[in-house]
A and B are shown apart, each in its own frame.
Chain A
Amino acid sequence: MTVIPIPWAEALGATLPPLVVQAERVASTVMQGVHGRRRPGQGDAFWQFRPYLPGDSASQVDWRQSAKSDRLFVRETEWEAAQTVAVWCQADAAMDWRSDAMLPTKQVRAELLVLALSALLFRGGERVRLFGLPRAFAGRGALASLAQSLPRQAALAEDARIPRHARAVLIGDFLAPLEETRRVVAQLAAGAVRGHLLQVLDPAEETLPFTGRVRFHALDAAEEALVPRVEGVRALYEERLARHREGLAALAAASGWSFATHRTDQPPETALLALHRRLAPG
């Protein structure tokens, strides 16, 4: 686990406006936020005046409105709740890899994006959850504890405690078989969670720049593959990768999710901007 300096993530997030998640339906939580629930409740925005009913306390009476007529009115505010965004950052041996010492590992880039996104959300008053952790983070000071909690998140983006109608952002390389990803997304979608998949890849994984006779070995398994002449299989590899990505995009679209890609040799701002546009209303 690489520790991302929080100021770095905050500085990255500072280039974008606070992120208020577009929410047709806010997650079913009682937490106060900025999303009006179109019903009276706790909140700052005016909702309606209703006639005084016995049992209302006198302090609830809106005297200015009541003075206009003979009846007493009570002022009700709209129930405003915060949206919850569940974020997940793939953490395994394959993520902790880079093809060149000048590049960040995929893990570093993914965590940076998670933290920057969280910083944006906190500034917008939203709540951020990590998969596998009991409670959500909120408030400006929560970024540090979120960063500390990152290692404790679940290995898979599966958590029954995610509230319905929450939003989810999953960041990883998603090189696992499509079925695995489809199962995760389908489970979340069943909970009415809408979400976004961001595939972070190393440039070498996209272009396969090696030449000659190369013995490839996996990072987390004993798997090996001997390629006699890498130049010869490059086109085939690229085609396979494109197919894999198409599959990811298709499974995302099937659940109403979206899918985007990001390379570690690109600046993280582009990925963050894409996430921001995806999540922000309008």
Chain B
Amino acid sequence: MWQLGPLAFAVPWLLLALPALPVLWWLLRVSPPAPRTQSFPAIRLLRDLPPNEETPHRTPWWLLLLRMVAAGLLILGLARPVWQPGGGGGGSGPLLVVVDNGWAAAPDWPARMAAAGAALEAASREGRRVAVLATAAPDTGEPVAATGLMPAEEARARLAALRPRAWAPDRVAALAALGDFRRAHPGAFATLYVADGVEHAAEGDAFTPLVAALAEAGPLTLARAEAQPARMLPPPRAEADRLMVRVLQVPATVATEATVLARTGDGRAIASATIPILAGASSAEAALDLPIEIRNQVVRLDLEPEAGAAGTVLLDERFRRRPVGISAAVETSAEAPLTGDLFYLERALGPYAEIRRGSPEQLLSRQLAVLILADREVPEGREREALARWVEQGGMLIRFAGPRLAERPDPLLPVALRAGERQLGGALSWDRPQVLAPFPEGSPFAGLAPPAEVTVERQVLAEPSPQLSERSWARLADGTPLVTEVARGQGRIVLFHVTANAEWSNLPLSGLFVDMLRRLVALSAGVRGAESDAPLAPLEILDGFGRLGAATPAAAPIPANQVEATTASPRHPPGWYGSAGQAEEAAWRRALNLSAHLPPPRAAAAPPAGARVEAIGGVPAERDLGPWMLAAALLLLAVDLLVSLGQRGLVGRHWSRGARAAGLAALLLAAAPARAEENAVVASNATHLAYVVTGDAQVDEISRMGLAGLSDFMNRRTAAALAEPIAVVPGRDDLSFYPLLYWPVLAEAPQPDAAAVAALNTFMRNGGIILLDTRDEGSGEGMNPGARAALRRVTRDLAIPPLAPVAEDHVLRRAFYLLQELPGRFSGGQVWAARDQDRANDSVSPVIIGGHDWAAGWAMDARGQNPFATIPGGARQRVLAYRFGTNLVMYALTGNYKGDQVHVPAILERLGN
């Protein structure tokens, strides 16, 4: 290894060949280039030329230079140059590469791999043996262990297989593994420790002893990412109508900011919150404002810039739509419209929460976030105990007052109540019904504006007590509490001092009621209550980068009531857990989040004095320049070969003509798509009728004249603006521009090929209409023998729906004119259209089949005259033919909108009423 600035050579003695280049130069100069041969009749005149001393033959200087550069590159390339070679870990013995591959290593994992890879590269050049030790436990459930010493090439494969894990590195286990390694391989070795720089246990993990042990064994290089502090995103705090997201990080010297993205199940980011982090701060918080409907769709929060598994929080149903149980004293009358106890509650909560009905005992047997009791007393006994226990565990109990509660207060109330209720503004009272006072600060209702028309006529009154004012979330204008609350254990009890129906106040009639309930439900801590110890199997787990994937074999189920308390580990990787049968029911998935139980990240202790500290990232990885130089040399030699051949006349002037021919061919090929594009522009600039080219010039001309005549007629009589008709060949031309395709069927018409069939079927499926004309119906019977067979042949592969004669009330008969018959040049035959109504295409029949030779009927020559007489004849038939054409085009352009006329009587009747 010989280093020259940032450039090093692995085989430096080969550079000794460089001084030989001038010799090569001289040799190339004195040896003439091979002559080109040339036949020449007048060779006699060239005989015995005197030696020409003034112009010696010579290889051109640029060719000489080219060869010299190629030779130089060859020598340099073989000397295996390396740009900015890695340090290699110092020392000379075996090399141990220790890699922290916990969650904190994920954000800059490629840079870490590059740092370790550079060391392996250097070790491979120096022929050192390498062992790899990853500090995080592998996901197979095996313990942390170092590999044996192996050649660097093998170690590279081991290194490439390493992945960051979705749990913290276990440095205590790594220290033990190091002890095993040293016992197996006594003697000094150098170490490269690619560390994540984070203490992963609150009281400090074994980072310091590990580093000390490594330093003891030999020279130690510590590679750390200084610029990027480790970050994590703990599970958010749910508040009314928003999620409070917090970012924890190792304190950094500069202020930065992080972004939290809220994603739905299909990966869409639907909201984001930017969190500024002050310099030196270890945490920062911001609100993620989300309407509840949107919030219910959020299944994960991601920290940006990417922070791996610790920056990902999966949100299960605890953060989602809450199950709310409602219960009334008398179930039978509770749902009575406008008067029932639960009538308003159901309507207010229905859009935002999952409502369950039943007695409190029934409701509490399942998981529940909020239980609402509307004027229902809780008698002493099992029910009261169960309720009290549930509230202690974090349930939210909301109670509404009423005559029964006023009679018999119970302890499950936030405040002591006076017996009886207070009546305001009754017939025997001087008081006015009371309006609401503005909500106090600190109340979950703060910010809501109480409307002036909400008044309270009756309420239950609280006994005055010192805590009454702080327990009041809402008051009336005279200061008496309307909503009071008290925290019990992890849960709370909320009391509305009015009824849940409109009997005591008109609060339940107002939108304020809805908002208040929504905030209360959002405030609830989530599902509480009976959680069994049924095991939840891992459904999907997060890898170290925070990507969901299939569960590893080592991942074990967790009992449902243990999910909260479980710390992420190889046995329980973070991710979704649930019972397999309930996997589709998202409400039953439980999320295990890595960040829920991680201590706030702390910077690791300083390395011991003897260790060399390197930065990860920012430094370009070493680059082996050898192959590039050899490739460049080969390229130059190939150029040289071509030039030499050219000089000998073996390649040359014939090329130019070949190239010209190739260029011309390419131009012709390019012109073909250009023509198709031009057609498309013409076709889409205006509405065109189109006809299928039959190959019979006369018939095609009649089709063209017919459609031109019809277009002319329609331009004069209707609002439709039709341009010149266009001839199309199905399968070759794009049919999507045309509403109507006129197709005269000739007796000798061949069966359309596959491409044409596909194009026509697509055309019909997308709403196009094909008018198939056999030209032999009615008065034209026998004019076109064989057309029926041809029609069968032509339409064999087309997706023709079942047909029926065009009915008297078919839209085709009145799309513009009211028509009894549908004549063309001939008259009296049957015309067929789709039998069934297909709502997909506005009930428009994709195909209309008849034999009236309509094009001949509509045909108009250049002088504006009709070249084909109608049969049986008369100007009337001609007019009717044009009218049919108009109806047809209107049908094609507007669909069945004229069909709606059948509803006109009903509409008129409704308007009259």
Residue in B32, B46, B49 with the greatest tally of chain A CB atoms within 10 Å: B46
**Per-residue CB proximity of B19-54 to A under 8 Å, as 1/0?**
000000000000011111111111111110110101
Q: Is A61 among interface residues, defined by CB-CB distance under 8 A?
A: no
Q: Say whether chain A's binding surface is mostly helix, strand, loop, or mixed.
A: mixed
Complex CA–CA separation, A272 to B866 (angstroms): 67
**Per-residue CB proximity of A198-213 to B under 8 Å, as 1/0?**
0001101100001011
Q: Which of A97, A177, A228, A240 contacts B32 (CB 8 A)?
A: A228
Q: How far is the CB of B336 from chain A (nearest CB, A)?
A: 107
Query: Across the interface, which residues of A come within 8 angstroms of B36, CB to CB?
Result: 212-215
8 additional A-B pairs beyond A106-B41, A215-B37, A227-B49, beta carbons within 8 Å, are A175-B41, A175-B44, A177-B44, A210-B38, A213-B33, A216-B38, A217-B39, A219-B41
Q: Is A1 among interface residues, defined by CB-CB distance under 8 A?
A: no
Q: How far is the CB of A216 from chain B (nearest CB, A)?
A: 4
Q: Say whether chain B's binding surface is mostly helix, strand, loop, or mixed.
A: loop
**Per-residue CB proximity of A209-238 to B under 8 Å, as 1/0?**
010111111110001111111011100110
Q: Is A278 among interface residues, defined by CB-CB distance under 8 A?
A: no
Query: Across the interface, which residues of B come within 8 angstroms of A217, CB to CB?
Result: 37-40, 43
Q: Is B362 among interface residues, defined by CB-CB distance under 8 A?
A: no
Complex CA–CA separation, A197 to B36 (angstroms): 34
Q: Write the chain B residue with the least CB distance to A95.
A: B41
Q: How far is the CB of A166 from chain B (nearest CB, A)?
A: 30
Query: Across the interface, which residues of A come within 8 angstroms of B37, CB to CB?
Result: 214-217
Q: Is A140 among interface residues, defined by CB-CB distance under 8 A?
A: no
- Would B57 and A228 count as touching, CB distance under 8 A? yes
Complex CA–CA separation, A236 to B44 (angstroms): 13
A228-B52, A228-B57, A229-B55 known; A215+B38 contact, CB < 8 A: yes
Q: Is B802 among interface residues, defined by CB-CB distance under 8 A?
A: no
Q: Is A80 among interface residues, defined by CB-CB distance under 8 A?
A: no
Query: Across the interface, which residues of B come within 8 angstroms of A201, CB to CB?
Result: 42
Complex CA–CA separation, A134 to B45 (angstroms): 36
Residue in B44, B47, B647 with the greatest tally of chain A CB atoms within 10 Å: B44
Q: How far is the CB of B119 from chain A (nearest CB, A)?
A: 56
Complex CA–CA separation, A214 to B36 (angstroms): 5
**Per-residue CB proximity of A140-153 to B under 8 Å, as 1/0?**
00000000000000
- Would B32 and A213 count as touching, CB distance under 8 A? yes
Chain B contact residue count (CB 8 A cutoff)? 24
A212-B57, A231-B55 known; A97+B39 contact, CB < 8 A: yes
Within 8 A of B (CB), among A239-266: 240-241, 244
Q: Is A23 among interface residues, defined by CB-CB distance under 8 A?
A: no
Q: Which of A95, A175, A213, A236 contacts B57 (CB 8 A)?
A: A213
Q: Write the chain B residue with the least CB distance to A106.
A: B41
Q: Is B56 among interface residues, defined by CB-CB distance under 8 A?
A: yes
A212-B57, A233-B52 known; A218+B40 contact, CB < 8 A: yes
- Would A237 and B56 count as touching, CB distance under 8 A? no
Query: Across the interface, which residues of B come within 8 angstroms of A226, CB to CB?
Result: 35
Q: Write the chain A residue with the least CB distance to B32.
A: A213
Q: How far is the CB of A50 from chain B (nearest CB, A)?
A: 60
Q: Write the chain B residue with the least CB distance to A233.
A: B49
Query: Across the interface, which residues of B come within 8 angstroms of A205, CB to CB?
Result: 40-42
- Would B52 and A232 count as touching, CB distance under 8 A? yes
Residue in B32, B36, B40, B56 with the greatest tally of chain A CB atoms within 10 Å: B40
Query: 6 A-B Cβ contacts within 8 A?
Result: A205-B42, A212-B36, A216-B39, A217-B43, A223-B47, A237-B46
Q: How far is the CB of B803 from chain A (nearest CB, A)?
A: 68
Q: How far is the CB of B728 from chain A (nearest CB, A)?
A: 47
Q: Is A94 among interface residues, defined by CB-CB distance under 8 A?
A: yes
Query: Across the interface, which residues of A come within 8 angstroms of B647, CB to CB?
Result: 212
Q: Which of B43, B49, B56 contacts A236 (CB 8 A)?
A: B49
Query: Across the interface, which residues of A come within 8 angstroms of B35, CB to CB?
Result: 212-215, 226, 228
Q: Is A126 among interface residues, defined by CB-CB distance under 8 A?
A: no
Within 8 A of B (CB), among A150-209: 173, 175, 177, 201-202, 204-205
- Would A173 and B49 count as touching, CB distance under 8 A? no
Query: Across the interface, which residues of B come within 8 angstroms of A229, CB to CB?
Result: 52, 55-57
Q: How far is the CB of B642 from chain A (nearest CB, A)?
A: 16
Q: Write the chain B residue with the least CB distance to A220.
A: B41
- Would A240 and B45 count as touching, CB distance under 8 A? yes
Q: Write the chain B residue with the least CB distance to A223.
A: B43
Q: How far is the CB of B718 from chain A (nearest CB, A)?
A: 65
- Would B56 and A228 count as touching, CB distance under 8 A? yes
Q: Write the chain A residue with the least CB distance to B41.
A: A94
Complex CA–CA separation, A97 to B41 (angstroms): 8
- Would A214 and B43 count as touching, CB distance under 8 A? no
Q: Write the chain A residue with the least CB distance to B44.
A: A175
Within 8 A of A (CB), among B304-348: none
Q: How far is the CB of B595 from chain A (nearest CB, A)?
A: 77
Query: Across the interface, which residues of B come within 8 angstroms of A233, CB to CB?
Result: 46, 49, 52
Q: Write the chain A residue with the least CB distance to B60.
A: A212
Q: How far is the CB of A194 from chain B (nearest CB, A)?
A: 28
Q: How far is the CB of B182 from chain A (nearest CB, A)?
A: 73
A227-B49, A233-B49, A236-B49 known; A216+B43 contact, CB < 8 A: yes
Q: Write the chain B residue with the least CB distance to A173.
A: B41
Q: Write the chain B residue with the least CB distance to A214.
A: B38
Query: Across the interface, which residues of B come within 8 angstroms of A236, CB to CB?
Result: 49-50
Residue in A212, A215, A244 with the greatest tally of chain B CB atoms within 10 Å: A212
Query: Across the interface, which residues of B come within 8 angstroms of A237, CB to CB?
Result: 45-46
Complex CA–CA separation, A210 to B46 (angstroms): 13
Complex CA–CA separation, A212 to B37 (angstroms): 11
Query: Across the interface, which residues of B come within 8 angstroms of A177, CB to CB?
Result: 44
Q: Write the chain A residue with the least CB distance to B33.
A: A213
Complex CA–CA separation, A271 to B43 (angstroms): 25
Q: How far is the CB of A103 from chain B (nearest CB, A)?
A: 13
- Would A225 and B57 count as touching, CB distance under 8 A? no
Query: Across the interface, which residues of B come within 8 angstroms of A95, CB to CB?
Result: 41
Complex CA–CA separation, A97 to B33 (angstroms): 27
Complex CA–CA separation, A219 to B41 (angstroms): 6
A-B pairs with lowest CB-CB distance, top 8: A94-B41, A228-B57, A232-B55, A213-B35, A216-B40, A232-B52, A215-B35, A218-B43
Q: How far is the CB of A183 from chain B (nearest CB, A)?
A: 17
Query: Across the interface, which residues of A come within 8 angstroms of B56, CB to CB?
Result: 228-229
**Per-residue CB proximity of B67-109 to A under 8 Å, as 1/0?**
0000000000000000000000000000000000000000000
Q: How far is the CB of A250 from chain B (nearest CB, A)?
A: 17
Complex CA–CA separation, A236 to B40 (angstroms): 16
Complex CA–CA separation, A83 to B600 (angstroms): 124
Query: Across the interface, which residues of B come within 8 angstroms of A227, CB to CB?
Result: 46, 49
**Per-residue CB proximity of A11-40 to B under 8 Å, as 1/0?**
000000000000000000000000000000
Q: Write the chain A residue with the least CB distance to B57.
A: A228
Query: Across the interface, which residues of B come within 8 angstroms of A204, CB to CB?
Result: 40
Query: Across the interface, which residues of B come within 8 angstroms of A173, CB to CB?
Result: 41-42
Q: Write the chain A residue with the least CB distance to B37.
A: A215
- Would A225 and B46 count as touching, CB distance under 8 A? yes
Within 8 A of B (CB), among A84-139: 94-95, 97, 106
Q: Write the chain B residue with the least CB distance to A231.
A: B55
Complex CA–CA separation, A142 to B49 (angstroms): 48
Complex CA–CA separation, A202 to B52 (angstroms): 26
- Would A225 and B42 count as touching, CB distance under 8 A? no
Q: How far is the CB of A111 from chain B (nearest CB, A)?
A: 17
Query: Across the interface, which residues of A come within 8 angstroms of B43, CB to CB?
Result: 216-218, 223-225
Q: How far is the CB of A93 from chain B (nearest CB, A)?
A: 8
Q: How far is the CB of A38 from chain B (nearest CB, A)?
A: 46
Q: Write the chain A residue with the least CB distance to B55.
A: A232
Complex CA–CA separation, A82 to B33 (angstroms): 62
Complex CA–CA separation, A175 to B46 (angstroms): 12
- Would B45 and A244 count as touching, CB distance under 8 A? yes
Query: Across the interface, which residues of A come within 8 angstroms of B46, CB to CB?
Result: 216, 225, 227, 233, 237
Query: Across the interface, which residues of B come within 8 angstroms of A213, CB to CB?
Result: 32-36, 57
Complex CA–CA separation, A214 to B57 (angstroms): 10
Q: How far is the CB of B690 from chain A (nearest CB, A)?
A: 50
Q: How far is the CB of A242 from chain B (nearest CB, A)?
A: 10
Q: Which of B32, B40, B54 contacts A232 (CB 8 A)?
A: B54
- Would B57 and A219 count as touching, CB distance under 8 A? no
